[in-house]
Amino acid sequence: MIKNLNDIIYYLTEKPKTLFLIDSLGAMLTAFFLFVVLRNFNEYFGMPITILTYLSVIAVCFSIYSIVCYFFLKENWASFIRVIGISNLLYCVLTMGLILVYFPVLSIGGIIYFSVETIIICGLVYIELQVASEINKNRFANN
């Protein structure tokens, strides 16, 4: 049973393929919320529809990257995990910047949605970068 964050990192270090599946499903969920939910109920969030479209395209690209890694990657897990981790981190920076730029037009719901999304993704980034680091440590320890 997984009891804490270190257990999660250890588990995903042993099964890095699972991390790509988690990332892909999360990115697809983000794309769905951005493109379907937030665009259709924009008056409750306030972010311009074009920005939501661009963010959803980015999320779809991340989802495709992760699902391709899940199905086709056989080795060198750490490098590919690091790429998606850094990409997710840049997405968070972009989102925080957009919160600042569009703050005057965002509703409380929009601020909460984008803030919670950023916090969740930053947690995933931490796990991804820790897993990549552990994989590299284990690889060099075995050589």
pLDDT in tens, 114-140: 999 999 999 999 999 999 999 998 877
Q: Is residue 2 part of a domain?
A: no
What's the whole-number average pLDDT of the chain? 94
**Domain residue limits at 88:** 7-137
Estimate the crossing angle of helix 5-14 against helix 16-32, to 10 degrees. 110
Cα 87 off chain centre by: 8
Query: pTM value?
Result: 0.92
What is the DSSP secondary-structure string of 44-109? Answer: GT---HHHHHHHHHHHHHHHHHHHHHHHH--S-HHHHHHHHHHHHHHHHHHHHHHHHHTTTT--HH
Q: Is residue 89 part of a domain?
A: yes
Q: Is residue 54 part of a domain?
A: yes
Q: Which residues contact 94 (CB under 8 A, 6 or more apart)?
A: 55, 58
pLDDT in tens, 103-119: 999 999 999 999 999 99
Q: Is the pLDDT of residue 142 over 90?
A: no
What is the DSSP secondary-structure string of 38-50? Answer: IHHTGGGT---HH
Q: Is residue 105 part of a domain?
A: yes
Domain count within the chain: 1
d(CA 25, CA 27): 5
The answer to whether 12 and 55 have CB atoms below 8 angstroms apart is no
Assign 9 a pLDDT band (cuts: 50, 70, 90).
very high
